[in-house]
Amino acid sequence: MGLLHTLYEGLLPQLVIFDLDGTLLDSVPDLAAAVDQMLARRGREPAGVERVKDWVGNGSHVLVRRALAGSLDHSAVDNAEADRAHQDFLHAYAGEHRLTAVYPGVQALLDWLQGQGVAMAVATNKPERFVAPLLQEKGLGGYFSWLVGGDTLPAQKPDPIALNWIMQQAGRKVEETLFVGDSRNDVLAARAAGMKVVAVSYGYNHGEPIAAQNPDLLVDSLDALI
């Protein structure tokens, strides 16, 4: 019996919702490149991959504000400047994402869930315009019935609105649903929705171990769930 069967008392969830960045895709290299282009337009030093890795997870607006501040605390950043910088970031991030890669173990789990007839969805804080093209570009476009971006609904994770909306669309109950993510926001969103949550150890969580958030399961690779 696999880990998912164990988690659901011998059964399987009927709906699995995934986070995107840091869970399915290692997208920080391309995000960092776009951040650094935005900073370069302002005569600023590049942030680099390691710093950007700690800043992602709360949507592109917050990422840009953190980059302008040079830290997680972006409260002193001017709103008008942040809006201009955000547009520059979006322009830089558009197009191909050659540095973004699918994490090991992802394809195997998605294939297995699809073979088991489990419905799948993505709930991410990334702007919606990038979600479907990025999944398609990386060969993951055919797995997911519902895609929710950070600007699709009135709120984003850790608010549970995206998870609740997907459950409603899928016609599934919370006890039939699983969320899979890599960050504190993902665990908080799942808890707020009342569903079980699996966390991956390899993602982006502002430099903090995700184990501290006490997910129902913690795995080093998604194919461990099979």
Interhelix angle 79-93/60-69, nearest 10 degrees: 110
Helix (H, G, I), strand (E, B) or coil at 200: strand
Active site amino acids: 19
Q: How many CB atoms lie within 10 A of CB 14?
A: 18
Contacts of 182 (CB under 8 A, 6+ apart): 19, 22, 23, 199, 200, 202, 203, 204, 205, 210
CA 181 to chain centre: 7
The encoded tokens of residue 166 equal: 């997907």
